[in-house]
Structure formats: structure tokens, C-alpha cells
């Protein structure tokens, strides 16, 4: 099973939004095989708590403009690991220290990487 075109498009839009707020280390994983409830995980890192929140806000705003509203969000008040659930797309915005600690890429290493096309002009 592979991620839907719609999920990949949402991931690309979310990645561009994250990049515009100077997110680091953007990675999208196709988790449609092992997970029945999501197609793509997008992982992004921020340098500090304010940056993490700004990245999450921008992703939420841009996807809402495109017609995708967040179903659930967690971690907003701490600004260390914010989870944004858009249904087929789940976005994880980490403080860079927490990203290294939890290492979701290692946990989902068997899932294919979804190519992202983010340009410096979006930043």
C-alpha cells in the first residue's frame, strides 16, 4: 500500500509552510503500510520552543487555507513536540533536542521516504 496523492500533496504543502519558518531536517515518511489511520508522517525540527510553535502555526494556517483543518493537536503549550493530525497526514514538529531523543526516523526506518521539493525561495 502506498500513500495517496492527496496525502503527498498535503505533506508537500506542509513542508513548504514549515520551510518558510526556517524548519530544519524536513522528512516525510510513507506510513500507509503499517498504519491504517495515516498515510504520511511529516517530521520537522525547530531551534527553540518559539520556532517550533511558529512552524506549527504556519502549517496549520496554510493547510486550513487549502481546505484541510487540523483534527487534533497536542503539545502546543510546551513547544517541544507538537503533533498536528490532519487525518491522512500527521505532522510532528520537534524541538531539535527532542527530535534526536525520540528518533522517529529510526522507529519508522522500514517506511519509504516521500520526496519533498522545498526551495529556498519559500523561506
Per-residue pLDDT tens digits of the chain, which is 123 residues long? 688 999 999 999 999 999 999 999 999 999 999 988 899 999 999 999 999 999 999 999 999 999 999 999 999 999 999 999 999 999 999 999 999 999 999 999 999 999 998 765 444
CA 69 to chain centre: 14
Domain span at residue 49?
A: 5-115
> Residue 60: inside a domain, yes or no?
yes
In the chain, the number of structural domains is 1
> Residue 20: inside a domain, yes or no?
yes
> Residue 122: inside a domain, yes or no?
no
> Residue 121: inside a domain, yes or no?
no
User: Model-level pTM?
Assistant: 0.92
Indicate the helix (H) or strand (E) that contains 60: helix 49-65
Tally the residues of the chain: 123
CATH of the domain at 62: 3.30.460.10
Amino acid at each position: 500500500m502506498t500513500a495517496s496523492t492527496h496525502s503527498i500533496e498535503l505533506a508537500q504543502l506542509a513542508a513548504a509552510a514549515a520551510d518558510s519558518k526556517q524548519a530544519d531536517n524536513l522528512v516525510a515518511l510513507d506510513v500507509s503500510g503499517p498504519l491504517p489511520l495515516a498515510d504520511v508522517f511529516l517530521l520537522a525540527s525547530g531551534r527553540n520552543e518559539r520556532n517550533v510553535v511558529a512552524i506549527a502555526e504556519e502549517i496549520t494556517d496554510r493547510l486550513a487555507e487549502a481546505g484541510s483543518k487540523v483534527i487534533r493537536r497536542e503539545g502546543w503549550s510546551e513547544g517541544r513536540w507538537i503533533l498536528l493530525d490532519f487525518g491522512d497526514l500527521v505532522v510532528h514538529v520537534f524541538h531539535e533536542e527532542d527530535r534526536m531523543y525520540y528518533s522517529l526516523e529510526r522507529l519508522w526506518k522500514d517506511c519509504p521516504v516521500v520526496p519533498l521539493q522545498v526551495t529556498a525561495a519559500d523561506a
